Structure 1
Amino acid sequence: MQAHRHALLVLLLNGFILMPVHAQESSSDVYQALGERSGIETIVKDLLGRIANDERLAAQFKSIDVRRFHRNLSDQLCQLSGGPCRYGGDDMRSIHAGIGVTDTQFNALAEQLVRAMEEEGVPTWAQNRLLERLVPLHEDIVDVPAEAAPTQ
């Protein structure tokens, strides 16, 4: 499991080496590069189509509430990118507990997110910054046993 997470980190770091450095980057630069709220919503809509057509992911997502997922993921990406939104959904550990998300699926979702961002013309540096902020969620998403979820 650690090896796959490290593979994603290596992919991200390779992108950092190839991208220009933004020394004066502010906390909202990523948000603006994503196209702000409307751009993020477009990226998430594209991502949903990609998930549905990706055999590595489609089965895990077939019973989701698409509108809720779109809203929550848009809010989460908006917040993580430095935008004014606040994610109000459940925590990642609770959502993913017991469903057996694999490293392959986590990486496939990251891959499809990159493709959706590329489709919208998001610069590589902004893609990498967003992915860098998503990597810590790996621990709460991948293969979380049901008993590891917090009780409420």
Structure 2
Amino acid sequence: MAPGLATAEKAYESVDENSLYVRMGGYDVISNVIDDFLTKSWADPKIAHFFVGMGTDTRNQLRQKNKNLMCYTTGGPCRVINRPLEVVHVGLGVTDADFYVIVDHIMVSLKKFKVAEKERGELHAKLLSLKPKIVLTADVPLKAPKREGLDESAQLENALGISNFNIGRYSEALSHFETASKKDSSVGEYHFNEAMALDKLGKHELAAKHFGAAQANAQGNARITESKILKAQVSK
């Protein structure tokens, strides 16, 4: 949902009469809800900064794309194409608090347009299920604490790799991790992260090699020494 621009389009297909889409009132209700919730969001000082600089055309696009996304999410005749939510929202810095402000606005708009409590609850659950793809500032699978005494350019490459890894861009992540480990091959974490990316890409033999290098250069790093995936790969 907002503040990002999800890409979706309306596709006139058959709709399950028991779908949430139908029970909410169909596309007209969804259109009214999105218009109302976005109008409130643009005026809300807690989240208005996400929309600064948006002209009329961009705001109209945001309206339509969010209408189609809600239509799709509720089982309506729309389909989402391209640009996954996590790609749309990466770099925006949406926090838990921001997310819940947006959800609250949607809930108020649903009630305003007479969507029943049961259906509001169902949509609320669906919105919460999207949170990991929108709030990307929470705990993530990999972290990049800065360490004194290590090559700063290698640390930067490692951090860039982690940013890509955490949104599923494993090929891009691998490129950064490879550069980091080449700049400073003595840091086990760089090898470990490289191995994790290789494993995600299905290159398990290469992953095992780098898990071994990570183990050899662990230097007491518990994340490496206690890693179940490392132990499983190295023991093959």
Q: Which has the larger radius of gyration?
A: 2
Q: Distance in 2 between matches of 1:121 and 1:82?
A: 19
Is 1:33 aligned with 2:42?
A: no
What does the per-residue CA deviation read over 1:32-69, in whole Å, with 9 as the maximum and x for residues that have no partner?
Answer: 23221111111100011110121111111224421221
SS at 2:128's partner residue? helix
Partner of 2:74: 81
Partner of 1:20: none
Pair 1:92–1:133, CA change in 2 (3 A): same
RMSD: 2.1
TM-score (structure 2 length as normaliser): 0.49
Q: Percent sequence identity over matched residues?
A: 21
Pair 1:133–1:42, CA change in 2 (3 A): same
| Contact 1:94 1:150 survives alignment (8 Å) | no
Pair 1:74–1:53, CA change in 2 (3 A): same
Cα deviation for residue 150 of structure 1 reads: 4.6
Gaps of 5+ in 1: 1-25
Of the structure 1 ranges 101-110 and 141-150, higher mean CA displacement relative to structure 2 is found in 141-150
Cα deviation for residue 133 of structure 1 reads: 1.3
Partner of 1:13: none
Is 1:96 aligned with 2:117?
A: no
| Contact 2:68 2:79 survives alignment (8 Å) | yes
* Equivalent in 28, 40, 49 of residue 39 of structure 2: 49
Cα deviation for residue 29 of structure 1 reads: 3.7
| Contact 2:86 2:136 survives alignment (8 Å) | no
Pair 1:27–1:133, CA change in 2 (3 A): farther
* Equivalent in 119, 133, 139 of residue 126 of structure 2: 133
Pair 1:27–1:62, CA change in 2 (3 A): farther
What does the per-residue CA deviation read over 1:78-131, in whole Å, with 9 as the maximum and x for residues that have no partner?
Answer: 111111111235211101111110000000000000011111011111111112
| Contact 1:31 1:78 survives alignment (8 Å) | yes
Letter in 1 for 2:125: E
Q: Give aligned pairs, total.
A: 127
Cα deviation for residue 146 of structure 1 reads: 5.1
Q: Distance in 1 between matches of 2:22 and 2:65?
A: 19
